[in-house]
Copies of this chain bind each other. A is one copy, B any other.
């Protein structure tokens, strides 16, 4: 069987290549040690993430005992691009034995780098000559050495540099000559000029040479980090009851979504739905042929993951939707749910891809004591795993061919990490603009592992974190510190599966609170349609399911119904767009304020050109006031200063570190304050 892209070879395992130390019976291991290379994750097992257009600073401890000097290069290239490595000299951080270099990440994909270091005998010789001169000693022998070091560089220099070196050395004495001390001093001066010496150093005979392993950094599009998602339940976007809406209906809604300020319109699965054990309203067993069934029970006789549900429209309609979104500056994202209904073509064509029960029937999805009778899970570890993996990759490529560049992945934590590592990396190699969002709700470490393995964005526990204590713990675990090296949280306020108790009970203020938090805590967030309408009726008390959820039945919404917060969302998204401090997460700072009801935090650009301070009253029922602590030292503030609430467009004159605020959830539960200059 042909296996175009080898999952083993492209898994990314073994990225942490041991240095080429040129060890052999006849070569001594290099005394130059390259340690603590940054950035990297888990001993370079996984790649950190960056954004196109950013600068990347690489640093390392490079140690060579004794008094010798080193020269160090950063070598880098894009994986799959030019085979040659670009090189630039790294700089020494005085007295700390650390070297750094900064490069612009101007291409999408896998940025690869290594560090090479060698003994800089040329600079050492110049340093010695200088010291001997200062103590009045004759340096002519040392200068002859210096000339010879330079001369030896001619051979290894690239042709462009060669002539320059030859020219400069022309007429200088060789090893057999003798020169006066004065002459030697003059020559040393000329050969020490930086433009010349850097040429020699780069082309020195690298007798003592050491090389780090190869490290990798993912370079993503800016939207991988900064994005506002709108989950659009396509079949509910119409106006006719008891009937599926279409892509054309979705298209009509795009202007509305755009007005609210979203960047990404995410559609749940668009495929045929199985009829075996189809689910009915409120997740009952369907009793009616009219029930549309769950979108996640994918596939029927007409096709599977590469087929459109006939009620939604044609590929032309889909293309028109994608195109209209693009015209509006938005993107369409699709759901990747790698599971099938019992009627999916895979069941007939690839029975080896499934799990079996003793009686020879295929096993339903189950997690005792529950069984999901409308879904078969795929066995990713079956003996014919390669054909399954490759088929799923073809599904992704199919939708890429249809203009989709963003995928929300359903339940990735129930499939093997090596599969995701292979899928995302092989797709990224050919389509570096593609973005994957992980919908894993499980323990923290597996969620983080999926992000490390290649997902560009990840769902979180945000919906369940509502008190100040819960939010603070959550922020510490998923937003602060080094996690932004690889984990980009997407704070969805709600999902088709999660209507939190807080939203069920907190009324319209609760929705505004959650919108403000999601949109300012994280550079990426999302809402699932209905949130803007403050839809909050649960299936039953204690349930997080929506009553009469559109997951199991047709639904028609009034998208402008009374009490909606669409203007509020528009305003929040506009604030996000206009304030670059809100486009990243690594700058988030939790700030102090008294009490358990108001949370206070900030984000600011490194040059302090854009400083945002956010205070949110977490209690949707009552007015609360507090004193917040502004980090005036870090913000270089003295005396009084003006902060502007970008929601109410009111200015406040604040003074010093501690300032009073009062937030009424029935007026505005949150301040999003910009420091005015």
Contacts and interface: CB of A to CB of B under 8 A. Distances in A.
Interface of A: 7-8, 11, 13-14, 16, 18, 21, 23-25, 28-31, 33, 35-36, 42-45, 61, 63, 65-67, 95-97, 127-128, 131-132, 134-135, 137, 141, 144-145, 175, 208, 357-359, 367-369, 380-381, 385, 412-419, 442-443, 445-446, 449-450
Nearest to A8: B23
A358 B369 CA distance: 85
| In the complex, the 3 A-B pairs of residues with the closest C-beta atoms, listed nearest first | A31-B416, A131-B368, A43-B43
Contacts of A208: 381
Contacts of A35: 42, 45, 449
Contacts of A97: 443, 445-446
Contacts of A132: 368-369
Contacts of A67: 367, 414
Contacts of A11: 23, 29
A137 B446 contact: no
Nearest to A132: B368
B13 A141 contact: no
B443 A381 contact: no
A contact face: mostly helix, strand, loop, or mixed? loop
A141 B380 CA distance: 24
A141 to B, nearest CB: 5
Contacts of A145: 358
B63 A417 contact: yes
Given A368-B128, A443-B95, A29 B8 contact: yes
Contacts of A131: 368-369
A380 B23 CA distance: 16
Contacts of A443: 95-97
Contacts of A128: 368
B358 A415 contact: no
Nearest to A65: B413
8 contacts: A8-B25, A16-B18, A31-B418, A63-B417, A63-B446, A65-B412, A65-B416, A65-B450
Contact of A369 (B8, B13, B137): B137
Given A31-B417, A33-B417, A65-B415, 17 more contacts: A13-B18, A28-B381, A28-B385, A29-B418, A33-B449, A35-B449, A61-B445, A65-B412, A65-B413, A66-B415, A128-B368, A131-B368, A132-B368, A134-B369, A135-B368, A137-B369, A144-B358
A357 B128 CA distance: 14
Given A128-B368, A417-B31, A417-B33, A13 B23 contact: yes
A52 B417 CA distance: 39
A18 B18 CA distance: 10
Nearest to A44: B43
A412 B445 CA distance: 42
Contacts of A135: 368-369
Contacts of A13: 18, 21, 23, 29
A416 B210 CA distance: 13
A368 to B, nearest CB: 3
Given A42-B36, A135-B368, A381-B31, A63 B445 contact: yes
Given A66-B413, A67-B367, A137-B369, A418 B8 contact: no
Q: Tell me which of A65, A127, A357 has the highest count of chain B C-beta atoms within 10 A of its own C-beta.
A: A65
